[in-house]
Structure 1
């Protein structure tokens, strides 16, 4: 006899049910497992002999001074941005672990936290994308550095003249460093700075997250747009939680689908970042990536069982 709690064959599970405590605990556990796996995935040795990392380093070392030292310095900056972005991503996974088990259950915060994980992982991918040349990598870094300085300038105005003067010194240093690297400003027809060029390779001033999200696994349709709807509080997204609350005493009600989306995005973001690490530095991360996908698949099975079992 077929258990009535099981869906008919071919019937999709939509995860539209409220978040139960058993499901929340399962979600928190898989997030913890994913985070710990990702944090401990790396071998002691990095930089395979034919890796893009080694190729970039060799190309910069072959240049005459002072260009050689300038590009080696910017390359070191890129290598410093990678673990910074990675640590920030893992920090938000850790926060998400706590968020999903809140009582009452969370509504949209899981998507906001998973969006932060994805952005950090895509930033990491942007700067060590193994498919681009070393010159384009430098052009991207030049744009990011210049954009960060502009953000610092805007923030400094709120803190007074001393901070403005300090940031002005930083800007002078950055502009000099970009000239030494050979990063040439690109401007539009109105004379507005739009990016940089290095050895004929162009890049904009900042990362386009929507474009970079194409690097995420293909089974995630438009993850950045969906998560941004929640993070920016857009009614087209947040209004659904009010509709779900109509038969309860709460203003908003979260659902399993929200947490499922957050877990799937986190898994996909960590996978994307790990593959960038692997391909740029020439690392052997096959076991870690296989384990990551195994954790996700097992959680999906558990989620179906828990959700169907809790459904009325």
Structure 2
């Protein structure tokens, strides 16, 4: 799917300059959302809220414990890597929220960088959601991790080769991953031409990598239409979108507008809501109060932002 083509004009409500008051309000709501994520889930210490014996996390650990050795240990290790990866991508997403908070306060105001940062926020969250999706069984979860891990190993090999490493040295991670997946009894899936396209555990398959566009459609909140495409033009540096900043600036340079900030903030807020929901569902934590607070504060911010942006 081509995610960089224009799909019509954006909402014109915030087509006004970015004022200091507007930027401060936007940065403030992002900080509050980020703190909600940390406070509601204690994300830096997942074991602190793994109390629900009926949670997917607990059920899956029991399912792994029922296996015989050595498969039990191998799959527990793979499951541990999955949890570590989900936390890693979540941490990177929240770090980019923090970066976005500072970016919004720049003087002169930012142009397209808020959308680019919000894209990373969303993608990091979607990686976590892809791995911790509570609606899928353990074997599909492991198959998803296997595909992502193997794909990353290929990327690492290509980067190492580009930096001049010998093929054998550059391929060490890939060889390790292939061996670990074999010990976990991951079954390779190939297409008609024999190309590796993913893995399966038991009868549960998964592709080699996440489809970000698909996950954005499935996992992001319903109140946020087409969030992936919303950030695509800026992230891909497409002239059809970034040229607007030149038009707004007049003769020279680039000029940002409040609409860009609003888009970046809404995408980031939606992503934070998603990561709180996903971690809560998987680990069995009650995050309903945090989600309710975020919904109320999001609506309050929208009205506040309109008032500030269009103040006469």
TM-score by length of 2: 0.91
Paired position in structure 2 for 1:7: none
For 2:73, which of 44, 62, 69 is the aligned residue? 69
Does the 8 Å contact 2:97/2:121 carry over to 1? Answer: yes
Paired position in structure 1 for 2:308: 306
RMSD: 1.5
CA drift at 1:45:
2.6
Paired position in structure 1 for 2:184: 181
Paired position in structure 2 for 1:99: 103
Paired position in structure 2 for 1:27: 26
- 1:110 aligns to 2:114 (yes or no): yes
Q: How does 1:116-195 map to 2 (within 5 A)?
A: 116-161=120-165, 164-195=167-198
CA drift at 1:47:
4.1
CA drift at 1:160:
2.2
Does the 8 Å contact 1:110/1:262 carry over to 2? Answer: yes
CA drift at 1:103:
1.2
Does the 8 Å contact 2:116/2:235 carry over to 1? Answer: yes
Paired position in structure 1 for 2:6: none
In the alignment, the residues of structure 2 paired with residue 91 and residue 76 of structure 1 have an alpha-carbon distance, to the nearest angstrom, of: 22
CA drift at 1:245:
2.2
Does the 8 Å contact 1:186/1:193 carry over to 2? Answer: yes
Does the 8 Å contact 2:23/2:104 carry over to 1? Answer: yes
CA drift at 1:250:
4.1
Does the 8 Å contact 2:156/2:173 carry over to 1? Answer: no
Determine helix, strand or coil for the equivalent of 2:49.
coil
Does the 8 Å contact 2:97/2:117 carry over to 1? Answer: yes
Does the 8 Å contact 2:12/2:259 carry over to 1? Answer: no
Task: Provide, for residues 270-298 of structure 1, a one-character-per-residue CA deviation record: whole Å limited to 9, x for no partner.
Answer: 11111111111110111211122222112
Question: Using a 3 Å threshold, how does the CA distance of structure 1 residues 107 and 143 change in structure 2: closer, same or farther?
Answer: same
Say which is worse superposed, 34-43 or 194-203, in terms of deviation.
34-43
Does the 8 Å contact 2:22/2:305 carry over to 1? Answer: yes
Say which is worse superposed, 33-42 or 298-307, in terms of deviation.
33-42
In the alignment, the residues of structure 2 paired with residue 45 and residue 143 of structure 1 have an alpha-carbon distance, to the nearest angstrom, of: 28
Does the 8 Å contact 2:52/2:283 carry over to 1? Answer: yes
Task: Provide, for residues 186-221 of structure 1, a one-character-per-residue CA deviation record: whole Å limited to 9, x for no partner.
Answer: 111111111111111111111100000021011211
Paired position in structure 2 for 1:8: none
Structure 2 portions without partners, runs of 5+: 1-10, 43-47
CA drift at 1:113:
0.2
Does the 8 Å contact 1:47/1:53 carry over to 2? Answer: no
Paired position in structure 1 for 2:4: none
Paired position in structure 2 for 1:6: none
For 2:279, which of 277, 296, 300 is the aligned residue? 277
Task: Provide, for residues 72-97 of structure 1, a one-character-per-residue CA deviation record: whole Å limited to 9, x for no partner.
Answer: 11110111112211211111011101
Q: How does 1:233-312 map to 2 (within 5 A)?
A: 233-246=237-250, 249-310=251-312
In the alignment, the residues of structure 2 paired with residue 295 and residue 39 of structure 1 have an alpha-carbon distance, to the nearest angstrom, of: 16
Q: Which runs of 4+ in 1 moved over 4 A?
A: none
Determine helix, strand or coil for the equivalent of 2:176.
helix
In the alignment, the residues of structure 1 paired with residue 123 and residue 90 of structure 2 have an alpha-carbon distance, to the nearest angstrom, of: 10
Paired position in structure 2 for 1:18: 17
In the alignment, the residues of structure 1 paired with residue 236 and residue 254 of structure 2 have an alpha-carbon distance, to the nearest angstrom, of: 16
CA drift at 1:253:
1.4
Paired position in structure 2 for 1:212: 215
CA drift at 1:122:
0.5
Paired position in structure 1 for 2:8: none
